[in-house]
């Protein structure tokens, strides 16, 4: 009996040691939950976390290989997502990874798809270098380190079981992982297949149309349309709840944005899903189309008024949300005391060329 007890004691301590190793190494019990959603047989959307927002990665199973759109801030999350894609599709032939813009929360996991060609708008690599290499990377890590104690305090102050508590609990886990990952083994992977205005990738049974719509959220913003699946990806451009906002100081070219956006909305092809990158942000097909119609109407209408020499005071009165764009009347129409609609009219007006002064009268033409 004595010996049995002795062996049992050894066994128990051995098991405890194994559990302790598992808890510190794998943190399996502390991983954020992983979600996978099929939009169709060939389209898989995968993300981690319940309460906090991360990035929804969209994967396409095509005749010429797997195409992935977006990655996360945490490459551990992307490694889990990659494994899920492989399992779901039963293949591993990653052909392309597409970045919708350069922001760090969308590109740090790029290295997980090391064999894929990374595709992006031409402005993206330089902007990525500023954010996630050299001094930019040091700043980013310092920012996350400073956020940690703040988030821990906020989690502790939030009521147990509240959404806020869950948000910060997940966020703290996320931050700790990300800080460690950015300090060790992080290799920024940049897009190498670059385009200016648009690019079409022929995947055999699927076509990917990439359109540059940069200048409002970031310089390299890209919308992706897959007509065979009626699928649109918009990155971080305008969410459902808010009227599209044209910041005056931002370098957008609305004519180019609308030309490209119009190829998706007015091309006569069905749109079934519109996906925003962040896991907690929705955008309906209707809102996506209404956003386009709103900006297009303002751009065309105000351009015409400007050409005809109208005064700005007239332009301001020409379009009202409640009358001309009632879809948006219940949406967020103000940010930090700025009336978004009035701001947009002013912003567009300022970018339009002034009406030409009547020039000297030339020789009469036959």
Query: Taking the complex as a whole, how short is the minimal distance between the CB of residue 151 and Zn ion, in angstroms?
Result: 20
Residues 288, 270: Cα–Cα separation, whole Å:
13
103 binds Zn ion (CB under 5 A): yes
221 binds Zn ion (CB under 5 A): no
Which of these segments, 46-54, 103-111, 173-181, 355-363, binds Zn ion (CB under 5 A)? Answer: 103-111
Residue with Cβ nearer Zn ion (209 or 236): 236
Q: What share of the chain is helix, strand, coil (3-state, %, to 5)?
A: 45, 20, 35
Query: Taking the complex as a whole, how short is the minimal distance between the CB of residue 219 and Zn ion, in angstroms?
Result: 11
Do 264 and 211 meet the contact criterion of CB atoms below 8 Å apart? yes
127 binds Zn ion (CB under 5 A): no
Do 58 and 69 meet the contact criterion of CB atoms below 8 Å apart? yes
Which of these segments, 100-108, 121-129, 282-290, 351-359, binds Zn ion (CB under 5 A)? Answer: 100-108
Residue with Cβ nearer Zn ion (131 or 170): 131
Q: In what order do the strands lie in the sheet with 198-202?
A: 198-202, 207-212, 222-226, 231-233, 273-275
Residue with Cβ nearer Zn ion (61 or 104): 104
236 binds Zn ion (CB under 5 A): yes
* Interface positions, 18-77, toward Zn ion (CB under 5 A): none
* Strand pairing class (117-121; 193-195): parallel
Query: Taking the complex as a whole, how short is the minimal distance between the CB of residue 128 and Zn ion, in angstroms?
Result: 12
* Interface positions, 259-278, toward Zn ion (CB under 5 A): none
Among candidate residues 348, 328, 119, the one with its CA nearest the CA of residue 243? 328
Residue with Cβ nearer Zn ion (278 or 351): 278
Query: Taking the complex as a whole, how short is the minimal distance between the CB of residue 218 and Zn ion, in angstroms?
Result: 6
C-alpha distances out from residue 83 to 63, 188, 219, 307, Å:
20, 20, 31, 56
C-alpha distances out from residue 252 to 58, 179, 245, 258, Å:
27, 33, 11, 11
Residue with Cβ nearer Zn ion (75 or 103): 103
Question: Which residues sit at the interface with Zn ion, rule CB under 5 A?
Answer: 103, 236
């Amino acid at each position: 009996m004595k010996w049995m007890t002795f062996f049992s004691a050894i066994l128990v301590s051995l098991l405890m040691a194994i559990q302790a190793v598992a808890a510190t190494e794998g943190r399996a019990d502390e991983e954020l939950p992983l979600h996978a959603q099929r939009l169709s047989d060939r389209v898989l959307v995968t993300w981690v976390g319940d309460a906090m927002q991360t990035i929804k990665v969209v994967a396409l199973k095509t005749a010429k290989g797997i195409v992935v759109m977006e990655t996360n801030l945490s490459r551990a999350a992307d490694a889990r997502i990659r494994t899920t894609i492989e399992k779901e599709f039963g293949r591993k032939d990653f052909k392309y990874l597409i970045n919708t813009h350069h922001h760090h929360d969308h590109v740090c996991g790029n290295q997980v798809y090391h064999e894929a060609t990374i595709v992006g708008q031409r402005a993206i690599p330089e902007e990525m270098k500023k954010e996630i290499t050299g001094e930019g990377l040091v700043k980013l890590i310092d920012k996350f380190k400073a956020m940690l104690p703040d988030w821990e305090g906020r989690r502790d102050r939030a009521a147990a079981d509240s959404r806020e508590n869950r948000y910060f609990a997940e966020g703290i886990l996320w931050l700790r992982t990300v800080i460690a990952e950015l300090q060790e083994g992080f290799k920024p992977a940049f897009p190498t297949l670059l385009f200016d205005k648009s690019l079409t990738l022929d995947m055999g049974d699927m076509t990917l149309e990439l359109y540059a719509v940069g200048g409002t959220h970031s310089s390299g913003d890209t919308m992706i349309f897959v007509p065979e699946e009626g699928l649109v990806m918009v990155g971080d451009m305008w969410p459902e709840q808010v009227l599209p906002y044209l910041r005056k100081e931002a370098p957008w070219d609305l004519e180019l944005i609308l030309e490209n956006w119009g190829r998706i909305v007015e091309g006569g092809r069905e749109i079934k899903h519109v996906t925003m990158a962040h896991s907690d942000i929705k955008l309906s097909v209707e809102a996506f189309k209404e956003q386009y119609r709103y900006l297009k109407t303002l751009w065309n209408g105000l351009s015409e008024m400007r050409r005809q020499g109208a005064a700005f005071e007239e332009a301001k009165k020409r379009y009202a949300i409640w009358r001309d764009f009632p879809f948006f009347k219940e949406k967020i129409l103000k940010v930090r005391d700025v009336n978004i609609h009035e701001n947009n009219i002013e912003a567009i007006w300022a970018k339009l060329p002034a009406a030409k002064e009547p020039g000297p009268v030339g020789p009469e033409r036959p």
